[in-house]
Structure 1
Amino acid sequence: MSGADVLLDKGECSRDIDAQGHVNAQGAAAKAVFSSARRWDQGRSMIMADPVGDFEQPLTESHGATGSYRPNRGAIALFALAVAALGVRGLVTGQPIPAWQPLDATPLTDALMRVDGLVLIGLAALTCLGQVGSLTRRHAAYGLCGLFAVWIALQLPPLAAKPGDIALWLGIAEVGALAAAALLLARSDAIVRHPPRDSVSTAAFAAFGLCAIIFGASHFAYADFTATMVPSWLPGRLSWAYATGLGHLAAGIAIATGVFRRTAATLLAAMMGCFILLVHIPLVVSTKGSLLQLTYLANACALCGSAWITASTAAWRSPSVAADAGDGQD
């Protein structure tokens, strides 16, 4: 065999190796694309198979990627059942909810409140069930958010006349917190897919945080009255009024700014749960189930559920994404 033949054989061998390597590279690339598509379909199937929102793990398996926590069953159930209870109150009595709807008692108001109560019950039921026909929880959540927005608008004229009245601000904050939670519930899919870039959800988190700040301010503005609601067996009742006010303020700032948002919302929900157990339920029992105290209990449960929804929808982010978004790491 001549030297030219040897060189030719070597050249053909090299081309074979290059061709084989090129084929292998193409195969590896195709395999990677197929694997990524399969993981995406699996993640999408997990979301579609779980319409009640009990998917509480990060959507992606990569530790460096962003994920989300979807609202869980307990948060949705508490929120929906409490809103339904407020709807039942309006349907049965035809009376506006205290501090929510500053409307005078007229025959027209009576009719409006009964219709309002019926709509609340329907939207709350759909929120709890997840889907009825072509209607989904997302539709119900948007409906609740819109209805709460109407209630907020009804309170703006009195607030414009008395902008320094903390009681008017408190009424708006109570409805605003429910509206923000309903919006977060409706936007939960967007939070899963684009956690750092969903501006609507970011605004909802900020709105909920501002409402919590107003709750805290009311504890200081009405410290003596708040102290009377603290159980008598607890020492330093006024101190508890100030301490819980500080808790609201700190949680509100954290939720609004995104610094330890999920931790702050979780602690806020726990504190509101303590209010239910230590304040509202005993008052319902001691007053033998008065309508006013039952309303306050339902309102407190709705607020606790809204804080719980806020906590469960707070997006988990990797340190790099958190730094870019300006958020703290829980």
Structure 2
Amino acid sequence: MLPRQQRAEGNFSSVVGFVLLGFSDLPNLQGLLFGIFSLMYTFIIIGNGIIMIITVVDSALQTPMYFFLANFSSLEVCYVSVTVPRILVNLWTQNRSISLLSCATQMCFFLMLGSTESFLLAVMAYDRYVAICNPLLYPVVMNQKVCTQLAVGSWISGIPVQIGQTFQVFSLPFCGSNQINHFFCDIPLLIKLACGDTSRNEICVYLVFILFSMIPFVLILSSYFRIISTILKMPSTASQFKAFSTCSSHLIVVVLFFGPGTITYLRPKSNHSAGTDKMFSLFYIFVTPLFNPIIYSLRNRDVIAALKRLLPKRTDRRSL
């Protein structure tokens, strides 16, 4: 067992590790939850992995839109892998302890990848804006160099800020309870366990969230406002339907990601409850990565066609 506390100066005890309570309040459902989450994790890896493969091997999908989709699927695999394996281990072993270093590492990667997802969704919205509103300039504006720069910028832009925010949170003195009533290490609950004045940290959380979530979200809304205005001016209903269909999948993912995240991080501290936090966290940890391959495959004719072209090749190879 991980030692819960060690004596520090003064009348406080300094926490040297945490206990992720997770779903310990549902003792009779541990096995069922392990099975459900294992299946969801497997489907997320396989589903997003298939999208990554077909966007690389199928020449018809060698476009900026599918280049960003491949990046997004790669991100989803990384995103769930930061939290879900720990959840599964805790459910299987019932050992919910986590060291300070492991907790800080998990939180840092979770925040960095969350920032990447925000920016990547904004980049994907910009790609659709250029394609629909300026189709003649699309090949020039969204050339390979620009696409690569936008993708790399999305991946690395949040790294220094989120490392700094993680360092700031774990520089706080933690005393008293070391139990985190959640299934992964997240900022609001860690700040809640800290001793002393945490108002500065709470302000930083709001500012960072605005910078890495609200600004990309506003850019997405701005892009789609112009996209919808352009689509409504199209003379053909068929053209309007085709344009809307290329954007609807992205919009669904945007709502699934930003909605729960906004409620989680911008709610007043007094309104936080463990049950609500867990419910909303399940959305952006499981639901968005799970629905991503479904949304972008079942609602996308190009992806379905690419899958059909890929499957016969594998079938032919097996028959030889």
* Bin of the TM-score, shorter chain as denominator length: 0.3 to 0.5
- RCO comparison, higher one (Cα < 8 Å, 6+): 2
Q: TM-score, normalising length from structure 2?
A: 0.32
Of the two, which has the highest radius of gyration?
Answer: 1
TM-score, normalization by structure 1: 0.32
